[in-house]
Amino acid sequence: MSKDNSLSDLLIPEKDLNYFLSKEIISNLDRFNALAANTPVNLLVVGKQGCGKSSMVKQFAARHNRPLATFQVGILSEPGQLFGELRLKDGETYYQQFLFPQAITTPNCVIHLEEINRPEHPKALNMLFSILSDDRQAWLDELGSISVAKGVIFFATLNEGEEFTGTELLDAALRDRFYVVSMDYLPMDIEKEVLKRKTGVGEEEAQNIVSILNNLRHNTKMPIPVSTRHSLMISKLVNAGATIKEALIFSLQMSREALEAILLTVQIEIGESEISKNVYELY
Ligand SMILES: Nc1ncnc2c1ncn2[C@@H]1O[C@H](COP(=O)(O)OP(=O)(O)OP(=O)(O)O)[C@@H](O)[C@H]1O
Ligand SMILES: [Mg+2]
């Protein structure tokens, strides 16, 4: 969370010319964009880790020329902490306002609340309830009444992991205030295109990487979630000269033995890494 209150923090993000999104989500986001001009719109973006949620929020802002302000809800430990805090200077306490009040009073701003299901303190979200409700207002002793500016749109993102199923962990009253946008990992052919465009790997390598990753993801014995973030990391390593096997070992945070066992069970043949791990030399 930025503690700097300067206007320069609220920038329109740059377009990512290699960001792909399903047509269905694109047209619905366009509708939400239009709706937000005269009605409160809160969107909850749900999807697995690294599937492109934060980038989608950023690209929404870029596409619609809206300034973007992002806040980590996961680190909040008390109600009101988004707005500001009491500080001490020369023995006097004063109220330091943060970026959040400025962002929500900036017309057309996109407010991104990250990890909304994981505040450190259960009451940390209390101030958000009234901001996200239809009257879009909050009262703070230090700042008085704050009203959300025209056209502001709220996005909240949360990870849908194996350990929980997304929205269930969110307080029902809070969840009730949102439209839901569900995202998933990209289809194979699109992911291949993203890898080629973003990392420079060639067609054949991209094809290999994507098919191996999909085997890992969808094998019935032990599915391994591999995010788009990780497939990009793997492709970058391959593009820097690593074999796919080396790139997998160094990206997936699993031991060589475990990886080999899984590759065997799903019968993936990806060749040896070129350099033995047991030969040492001075570095
Ligand atoms: N559809 C896509 N097209 C192009 N690049 C993508 C796409 N989805 C994800 N990426 C890339 O993958 C990386 C991870 O994406 P992002 O950070 O948006 O995921 P996330 O879902 O917000 O992750 P987390 O769950 O960790 O918050 C970024 O570098 C992003 O540019
Ligand atoms: Mg994210």
Q: Is residue 1 assigned to a domain?
A: no
Lowest mean pLDDT among 25-39, 124-138, 264-278: 264-278
Q: Which atom of ligand 1 is nearest to the CA of 186?
A: 1
Q: Among 38, 53, 65, which Cα is nearest to 185's?
A: 53
Together in a domain, 140 and 236? no
Q: What is the total count of domains within the chain? A: 2
Please give the Cα distance from 268 to 69 (Å, whole number).
44
Q: Which ligand is nearest to the CA of 159?
A: 1
Statement to judge: residues 22 and 124 lie in one domain: yes
Domain assignment of residue 275, yes or no: no
Question: Does pLDDT of 151 surpass 70?
Answer: yes
Residue 40 binned pLDDT confidence (cut-offs 50, 70, 90): very high
| Boundaries of domain holding 238 | 188-265
- The CATH number linked to 41 is 3.40.50.300
Predicted confidence at residue 16, as pLDDT, reads: 96
Cβ neighbour number for residue 233 with a 10 Å cutoff:
18
The reply to whether 255 falls in a domain is: yes
Distance of alpha carbon 41 from alpha carbon 155, whole angstroms: 9
| Confidence category of residue 19, pLDDT binned at 50, 70, 90 | very high
Q: Is the pLDDT of residue 140 over 50?
A: yes
Residue 273 lies in a domain: no
Partnered with residue 155 across adjacent β-strands are 43, 112
The rounded mean pLDDT for the chain is 86
In a domain, residue 279? The reply is: no
Give burial (CB, 10 Å; 0-12/13-18/19+) of 219.
middle
User: What is the best residue among 15, 54, 56, 193 to mutate for testing ligand 1's pocket, by most ligand atoms within 8 Å of CB?
Assistant: 54
Ligand nearest to the CA of 190: 1
Q: Both 153 and 193 in a single domain?
A: no
Q: What is the pLDDT of residue 256?
A: 82
Cβ contact 183:50 at 8 Å: no
Six-digit token string for 185: 């990992």
Protein residue closest via CA to atom 5 of ligand 1: 19
Indicate whether 53 and 132 sit together in one domain. yes
More confident residue, 121 or 43: 43
Query: Which residues lie with the beta carbon below 6 Å from any ligand 1 atom?
Result: 18-21, 47, 49-55, 159, 186, 194, 228-229, 232
Name the most confidently modeled range: 82-86, 98-102, 152-156.
Answer: 152-156
Q: What is the pLDDT of residue 242?
A: 92
H-type helices in 163-283, by residue range? Answer: 172-175, 188-199, 203-218, 228-239, 244-251, 256-265
Residue 163 in any domain: the answer is: yes
Q: Are residues 160 and 204 in the same domain?
A: no
Cα(53) to ligand 2 centroid in Å equals 5
- Supply the residue whose CA is at minimum distance from atom 15 of ligand 1: 52
Same domain? For 198 and 169 the reply is no
Q: What three-state secondary structure class fits 237? A: helix
The pLDDT score that the predictor gives to residue 277 is 61
Q: Which of 41, 108, 52, 98 is nearest to 71 (CA)?
A: 98
Mean pLDDT value of segment 14-22 = 95
Q: Per residue in 204-250, pLDDT tens?
A: 999 999 998 988 888 777 788 899 999 999 999 999 999 888 898 88
Q: What is the 113 CA–ligand 2 centroid distance (Å)? A: 10
Residue 272's pLDDT band, with cuts at 50, 70 and 90, is low
Does 55 share its domain with 88?
yes
CA distance readout (Å), 50 to 46, 99, 154: 11, 26, 20
CA dihedral sign of residues 170, 172, 174, 177? positive
What's the gap between Cα 40 and its chain centre? 22
User: Based on the domain organization, do 128 and 192 belong to the same domain?
Assistant: no
**What spacing in Å lies between the alpha carbon of 230 and ligand 1's midpoint?**
9
pLDDT at 268 over 80: no
pLDDT 10s digits, 65-95: 999 999 988 788 777 888 998 999 999 999 9
Residue 221 lies in a domain: yes
Q: Is 127 helix (H, G, I), strand (E, B) or coil?
A: helix
Residue in 48, 49, 8, 56 with CA at minimum distance from that of residue 32: 56
Q: Is the pLDDT of residue 274 over 60?
A: no
Q: What pLDDT shows up at residue 1?
A: 44
218 and 167 both lie in a single domain: no
Residues 6 or more apart from 89 whose CB is under 8 A from it? none
